[in-house]
Amino acid sequence: MRFLIVSFDGLRPDLVAPDLTPNLCRLQAQGITLSNHRTVYPSETRSAFPSLVTGSTTSRHGMVGNIYVDRSVTPSRYIDTADAVLLRKLDLESGGRLMSTQTLGEILASAGRSLAVLATNSPGTTRFFHHKAEDFGHVRLSGHFREACTPDDLLAEAEELVGPLPPKPPSTKPDKAGQDWITSAFLDVIWPKYRSDVTVLSYGEPDLSSHFHGTGAEVTRAIIAHCDRQFGRVLDWWEAEGRAEGVQIIAISDHGHITGHTQVSVVERLRDAGYRPGTAPAPDVDVVVVPGQVGALYLPDPSDERIARIVATITGEPWCGPVFTRAKNDIEGIALGSLGSHLVFIDHVRAPDVSFCFRANDSVDPFGLVGGTFYENSRRAGLGVHGGLHPRELVALGVVAGSAFPGQGAVSVVPSGICDFAPTILHLLEIAQPESMTGRVLTEVVEPGQKAAPESRSEAFDAGLGRFRQVLRRVQVGASTYIESGTAEW
C-alpha cells in the first residue's frame, strides 16, 4: 500500500464544483469527502503543513507562524520560514530540533520506508514537507527553487526528462509552469523510478493568485481550473495504473481564504499608544509586531503587567479579533480579556506573548464568497487573506480514495483535521504512531460500518474586557480537538 497526498494551497472547499474542478469532483465520486474538515491555528501555510507531516498541533511541532521571533539566542532573531537554507541551518544548529516532534519522513525512514515531496510552494514550505530528506536519501523536488531540491542527481535527471526548472513567475502572475513541471516529474520520474511509500504533490496555487487577485477572481478561478487539469493527469494515471498498484489518494488544502476589507497598521496604533514598536528585534524596540495577517506580538520584557497593558490597548481597537496569552487557568489568559493560548494549541516556547486575529465577519465579497476581515499588508482591499479563526479560513479540503477507504461518493460529516492524515497513514502501514501526535486515525472512513461513527462534543469559551467580547468554539472527537471558529465583537 502506498499513499499520494495532493495539496492545493489555499483552496476553499466551496470552490470545488463540476464546472471549475471536474477532476476533484471525479475523485469525490470515487472516494469519501470529509465535509467537516479543518486546519490548525494559525491558519497559515507554514503552520499547517508541519501539522500535516507531524500529525500534531502547533503547540507540539513549534512552527507558530510563517514568521516568528527566536528567543532561544541572544540577541533574539527574526525567522522567516520561507527561507529553505535558513531552515536547514536552524535544524543543524539545534541538533535536529527545528521541529519539536518527529515528522512523517523521519518515522517512515526509521521503519525502512520513504517519503517523496514535489512542491511549488515557497522554498521553506517545500522543505517543511520533509526537512530531513537529504539525511535519508529521500526525494524532495521544488518546481522552482534548486536550494529546496535533493538529491542533486535526481534533479538533473528530472530536468533532462521534463525540462529545466521553470523560473518563479512574478507574484502577480499565476504559476502555471511550476504546477505542470512537478506533475510531469511525478508521472515521468518519481513514480516510475522510486515508488515512494508516501508522496506529497503540492500545488502552490490558488493561494498566490488569491492573495494578489482575489479569492473568487477570474484569474484565480482560471489557475484553480489549471491545477485541476494537472490533477486530472494524475487521476488518469491512478485509474489506469496507480490504483491497481495499491496507491491511495488523499486530496487536501491547508487552509481557506477570506477577503480583506479594511487595511490597518498595528505598528502605527501601538506607536500612538506610546510604545516603540518594530517589525524585528532591535535595542530600541519594546514590542515586535510580526508582519502579516496573524497578529503576533513579542515583548523583550513579557511581564504579566506589560502583557495586560498591551492587550488592553489592542482590544480597544475595532480591528482586534480574538486574543490569546499564556494561560492563567484552564480558560483565561494572564491578561484580562484574553483566552489562554493553550485553547488554540499555540502554547509553545516560540509562541508570541500576545497572539491575536484581526476581526472578521460574514460579509459577502464582490465574488459572492462569505468572509471579510480587517487586514494588515500593503495590498489593496478585496484580496484574499488567511491566518485567523474565521470558519472560512479554518475550513479545508479533505477527500480520500482507494482500497483503504471503502465507499464511493460518500460524505463523512464527522469532524476531522489536517493532523489526522499522518496517524491514519501510519495505521494503514502498520507503523506505530508516536505519542506526540494529537491527530487521530480516521476510523469512520477506514472502517465504515464496522463500528458506530465517533461521537463529537461541542464547547465554547469566552472572555471580555470593557466592550470587547470574544468567543472561541471547538469540537472534540475522542481525544482530538478541532477549532471551529473564533469571533470578537464590540
Tens-place pLDDT, residues 130-186: 999 999 999 999 999 999 999 999 999 999 999 999 999 999 999 999 999 999 999
Same domain, 264 and 308: yes
CATH number for the domain harbouring residue 204: 3.40.720.10
For 339, other C-beta atoms within 10 Å of its C-beta total 25
Model confidence pLDDT, tens digit, residues 389-429: 999 999 999 999 999 999 899 999 999 999 999 999 999 99
Q: What is the 3-state secondary structure (H, E, C) of 99-144?
A: CCCCCHHHHHHHCCCCEEEEECCCHHHHHHHCCCHHHHCCEEEECC
299 and 417, same domain (yes or no): no
Residue 310 lies in a domain: yes
Q: Which of the four pLDDT bands, split at 50, 70 and 90, describes residue 117? A: very high
At residue 362 the predicted structure's pLDDT band, cuts being 50, 70 and 90, is very high
Average pLDDT over residues 109-117: 98
User: In terms of domains, do 272 and 316 share one?
Assistant: yes
User: Does pLDDT of 352 surpass 90?
Assistant: yes
Residues 272, 396 within the same domain:
no
Question: And the C-alpha cell for 82?
Answer: 520561507
Same domain, yes or no: 251 and 275: no
- 244 and 265 housed in the same domain: no
Q: What is the mean pLDDT of the chain?
A: 97
The domain tally of the chain equals 2
**pLDDT of 452 strictly over 80:** no
Residue 397 maps to a domain = yes
Examine the domain organization and report whether 130 and 162 are in the same domain: yes
Examine the pLDDT at 258 and tell me if it is beyond 90.
yes
Burial of 134 (0-12, 13-18, 19+ CB in 10 A): middle
- pLDDT at position 248: 98
Task: Mention every residue, 6+ apart, whose C-beta is less than 8 A from residue 137.
Answer: 151
pLDDT value at position 450? 74
Domain boundary among 446, 466, 481: 446
Has residue 475 got a pLDDT over 80?
Answer: yes
* Residue carrying C-alpha cell 515508488: 195
Residue 239, C-beta contacts closer than 8 angstroms, at least 6 positions apart: none
Q: What is the mean pLDDT of residues 67-78?
A: 94
pLDDT in the model for residue 407: 87
**Residue 234 contacts by C-beta under 8 Å, 6 or more apart in sequence?**
4, 6, 183, 186, 187, 201
Q: What is the pLDDT of residue 134?
A: 98
64 and 123 housed in the same domain: yes
Residue 384 lies in a domain: no
Is residue 286 included in any domain, yes or no? yes
pLDDT higher than threshold 90 for residue 447: no
Residue 385 lies in a domain: no
Q: Is the pLDDT of residue 243 over 80?
A: yes
Higher pLDDT, 455 or 87: 87
Domain that holds residue 482: 260-364+371-378+458-489
187 band by pLDDT with thresholds 50, 70 and 90: very high
In this predicted model, what pLDDT tens digit does every residue of 18-65 receive, in sequence order? 999 999 999 999 999 999 999 999 999 999 999 999 999 999 999 999
In the predicted model, what is the mean pLDDT of residues 274-284?
Answer: 96
277's enclosing H/E stretch is strand 277-278
- pTM for this predicted structure: 0.97
Residue 276 lies in a domain: yes
151 close to 140: Cβ distance less than 8 angstroms:
no
Q: What is the mean pLDDT of residues 194-213?
A: 98
- What is the C-alpha separation between 73 and 144, in angstroms, rounded? 32
Give domain status of residue 452, yes or no.
no
Q: State the pLDDT at residue 268.
A: 97
Provide the percentage of residues in the chain whose pLDDT is more than 90: 97
The pLDDT value given to residue 326: 98
Q: What is the pLDDT of residue 153?
A: 96
- The tens digit of pLDDT for each residue in 326-347 reads 999 999 999 999 999 999 999 9
243 with 277, same domain: the answer is no
* 394 and 433 inside one domain: yes
% of the chain beyond a pLDDT of 70? 100
Whether residue 357 sits in one domain with residue 394: no
Residue 192: is the preceding peptide bond cis (ω within 30°)?
Answer: no
Residue 383 lies in a domain: no
Phi, psi of 59 (to 5 degrees): -65, -25
**Confidence class for position 451, pLDDT limits 50, 70, 90:** confident
Check whether residue 149 and residue 292 sit in a common domain: no
3-state helix vs strand vs coil in the chain, percent to 5: 35, 25, 40
